Amino acid sequence: MLSACNTTVDRRNQEKLRHGTAAFPLACYHDDLSRDSVPWHWHEELEAVVVAEGETFVTIGTHTYVIRAGDGFFVNSGVLHSCQLRGRTACIFHSLVFHPRLIGGSLESVFYQRYVLPITENRGWEGLHLSSSIPWQMDILSCIENTWQACVHETSHYELTARSFLSEMLALLCDHSNQEPVCPDPKLARNAYRIKQMLQYIHEHFGEELTAADIAASASLSESECLRCFRAVIDTTPIRYLREYRVEQAAELLSAGREPICSIAARCGFSDVSYFTKTFREQKGCTPGIYRQKCGNSLRD
């Protein structure tokens, strides 16, 4: 049941990884942010996480949280989110990603109508920072960890155990969240839409020469409005995001095969190999060559 975490997205930033199976749509992940961050992505499934070690910056929609060991978070369906390491020590996640039908069954069932839809259709409710100091949230954290442990160790009847704990979690969320649909702030909703447009453009063209003006034009914005939007939603600049995305794509290519480093640099938008090496080291803590060796794909470049 324990799956490797490999967050890849399509041109709309939707995650392409399938979570679980059609018969049992739940996957468990053991993530270490000291190796790789979790890039901006979204999926139809719900996500629930306990931070087992370390600290992380988690951005869910338009909100960013610092989450420490023992706490966690919940991400609603279809919400853009990302995770970054906070500090220099390891940060370990116990993560569950599951389709609502695991709990709700068919769309016509009372379980889906009464417990799933009030959460997933509330577009103003992006997710939740779960604190172990709040009793009902501690109960949710226990549900997440118990589900993760049961599935990872495949205890007797673990499928029923998982469904039971996740049902309890959803009931707690329903009891303590605003059940009336919340109308999102129009400004925040507009910014989120624009960010998705610009991220899509970057993901499709990152290997080309790009400027802030190019990125802004993809959403019909001025450069200043583009910068403001990036800072407001994902707390970075468009050029910094582009550079970091290029490095992540390069790291994926380095770990996947034996293509020469100079070729990978060019494919990922770096015309100067020295600058690529410097940027890669700043972001990953080692040179591209050493990173490749750690992944077991050694090649003389």
What are the extents of the domains in the chain? Answer: 2-176, 186-294
DSSP code at position 96:
E
Highest mean pLDDT among 72-81, 86-95, 176-185: 72-81
Mean pLDDT of 44-55: 94
Alpha carbon distance 124, 145 (integer Å) = 27
What does each C-alpha distance from 113 to 70, 103, 121 come to in angstroms? Answer: 32, 11, 11
Q: Looking at residue 182, what DSSP letter applies?
A: P
**Predicted TM-score (pTM) of this structure:** 0.69
| 3 or 37, higher pLDDT | 37
Average pLDDT over residues 119-144: 93
- Architecture of the CATH domain 186-294: Orthogonal Bundle (1.10)
Residue 301: which pLDDT band, with cuts at 50, 70 and 90? very low
Which residues pair with residue 85 across a beta bridge?
A: 56
Enter the tokens of residue 22.
């059609």
67 membership: H or E segment, kind and range: strand 63-68
| Rounded Cα–Cα distance for residues 29 and 6 (Å) | 10
Is pLDDT above 70 for 10?
no
Q: How far is CA 153 from CA 1, 2, 103, 147, 229, in A?
A: 8, 9, 21, 10, 44
Flag the least confident range among 8-22, 124-138, 165-179, 271-285: 8-22
Fold of 2-176: Jelly Rolls (2.60.120)
- Of residues 118 and 184, the one with the higher pLDDT is 118
